[in-house]
């Protein structure tokens, strides 16, 4: 009987510890309070982050009306992009800037729930404070949509959101993949590739739990749709020079007179509106990969 009591106590303590470890961890409410956002700078962050690429409605021509609805298949179920327009009821118009920052960098909703990592907050965790508040300032200029968000199609056990807290312990951090003393161009390229543009989300293989295998960073990955493969960006596989990479990001045209397809069409649409210096920085980063 004494041994049984000890086993029960250990089980209760273990469950309590697991519950505490997997809790949502939002940013402090005043974390970015001292910063003032700039909507003009925020537009560039919006473009580099590819927000409209996922959250604009399928087939829409109004890429700035983020009414959601796009579907993203995965091994864990199908995720449906929600309405994140400034609508106060169906969108995120009632959020505070601090809640927006917690969603971006911690994957935590205003209600304290974990977001699924189909939302690439593991990349956005590296965003600079100023870019977050600038993006939030730009968000206020976007048109609202009253379209209702659709639920994700995720079955048990992945439907248990608390499990995402355990996943975050393994995969959510703000460290850089490319290390070392980088010059300003490479540092900018790293920030764009690893943080804002979250290139690794498509171009890096994943482990059995869905986390990025950073030991094979940007070495190509299966297409989640089941059709073909996302190509590698490492210099042994992508032989374009830096100028050709930058030109592709601007126009969508390859050195072989082909053009971008699939989700890269949206990426090119976004990067074509950024500066030539930003495209050159991404090219420099890609050419510097091992």
Supply the Cα-derived Rg of the chain in whole angstroms.
20
Distance CA 138, CA 72 (A): 26
**Domain ranges (residues) in the chain:** 27-156, 176-290
Query: What pLDDT is recorded for position 223?
Result: 86
- Residue 253: helix, strand or coil by DSSP? strand
Burial string for 6-33 (b: 16+ CB within 10 Å, else e) reads: eeeeeeeeeeeeeeeebebebbeeebbe
The CA distances from residue 10 to 1, 2, 13, 23, 61, in Å, are 14, 12, 5, 20, 57
pTM equals 0.92
Residue-level pLDDT, tens digit, the chain, 290 residues: 666 555 554 444 444 555 556 677 888 888 898 999 999 999 999 999 999 999 999 988 899 999 999 999 888 899 999 999 999 999 999 999 999 999 999 999 999 999 999 999 999 999 999 999 999 999 999 999 999 999 999 988 888 888 899 999 999 999 999 999 999 999 999 999 999 999 999 999 999 989 999 999 999 999 876 678 999 999 999 999 999 999 999 999 999 989 998 889 999 999 999 999 999 999 999 999 99
In this structure, are residues 135 and 42 in contact, taking their beta carbons and an 8 Å threshold? yes
For domain 27-156, give the CATH number.
1.10.760.10
Joined together, the tokens standing for residue 172 give: 């959510």
Distance CA 9, CA 281 (A): 56
């Amino acid at each position: 009987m004494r041994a049984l009591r000890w086993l029960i106590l250990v089980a209760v303590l273990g469950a309590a510890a697991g519950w505490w470890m997997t809790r949502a961890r939002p940013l402090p409410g005043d974390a970015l309070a001292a910063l003032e956002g700039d909507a003009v700078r925020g537009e560039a962050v919006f473009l580099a982050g590819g927000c409209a690429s996922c959250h604009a409605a399928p087939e829409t021509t109004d890429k700035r009306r983020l009414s959601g609805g796009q579907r993203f298949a995965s091994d864990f179920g199908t995720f449906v992009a929600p309405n994140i327009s400034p609508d106060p009821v169906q969108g995120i118009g009632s959020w505070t800037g601090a809640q927006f920052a917690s969603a971006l960098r911690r994957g935590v909703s205003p209600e304290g729930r974990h977001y699924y990592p189909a939302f690439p907050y593991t990349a956005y965790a590296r965003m600079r404070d100023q870019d977050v508040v600038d993006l939030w300032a730009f968000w206020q200029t976007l048109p609202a949509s009253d379209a209702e968000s659709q639920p994700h199609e995720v079955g048990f056990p992945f439907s248990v959101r608390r499990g995402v807290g355990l996943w975050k312990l393994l995969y959510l951090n703000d460290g850089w993949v490319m290390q070392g003393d980088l010059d300003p161009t490479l540092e900018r390229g790293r920030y764009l590739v690893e943080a804002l543009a979250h290139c690794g989300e498509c171009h890096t293989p994943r482990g059995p739990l869905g986390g990025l295998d950073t030991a094979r960073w940007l070495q190509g990955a299966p297409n989640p749709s089941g059709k073909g493969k996302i190509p590698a960006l490492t210099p042994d596989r992508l032989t374009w020079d830096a100028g050709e990479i930058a030109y592709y990001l601007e126009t969508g045209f390859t050195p072989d007179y082909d053009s971008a397809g699939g989700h890269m069409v949206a990426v090119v649409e976004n990067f074509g509106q950024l500066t030539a210096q930003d495209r050159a920085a991404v090219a420099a980063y890609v050419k510097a990969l091992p």
